[in-house]
Amino acid sequence: MATLRAMLRTQVENNHPIEETIFLVNNTLVKETPSNKFVTLFYGVLDVAKRELTYVNAGHNPPLLYDHNTGEIKELADAGGLIIGFRDNLKFEAARQRLRPGQLLVFFTDGVTEAQNPCEELFGQERLRAVIREQADKDARTLMERIYQAVKDFTQDHPQSDDLTMIILKIEGTRRSDIEGTKDDER
């Protein structure tokens, strides 16, 4: 993981488009690590002013985009490529997602959805989606704590084999352009 971070930081500083950044990181990882090692990765760049996320998903769990206005949950799974470190010269595709007030993004590792209870049942994505829907009106930190607690309640302290890592991004506020289609001004 430390090697991947160093490679990614090096390429990010070159200001390439994100799909090229991941292409270059992948090629370097293939050369510098054993052939039995690979990584899943979701890499995104958030343009806060435009409220736009540009991303590549390289075999990682797709983040979930919840829209409070519609109640829908969408996976950001429409772009990317294979895992990285597996084979060189793989092509990756980037996608863009506009973000609106009332939406939230939940990034998570497979340790969340693959957490097991004593009967070896998985927490799964449906339970995760249910917690997101039930708790979406909370602030991001509280939502993360509620998801974590739901996983812990489900697993009943059954030993876990993976980490539980989450990042939650909640889109709040309005801009004049959201209302009138004019120049961006924060309200």
Q: What is the pTM of this model?
A: 0.85
Q: What is the pLDDT along the chain (187 residues), one digit of tens a residue?
A: 777 888 888 888 888 999 999 999 999 988 988 888 888 899 999 999 999 999 999 989 999 999 998 999 999 987 788 888 889 999 999 999 999 999 999 999 999 999 999 999 999 999 999 999 999 999 999 999 999 999 999 999 888 888 889 999 999 875 544 433 333 333 2
Domain ranges of the chain: 1-59+76-99, 101-172
- pLDDT for the residue numbered 132: 98
- pLDDT for the residue numbered 174: 59
From residue 7, how far is each of 32, 33, 182 by CA, in Å? 10, 12, 40
- pLDDT for the residue numbered 155: 96
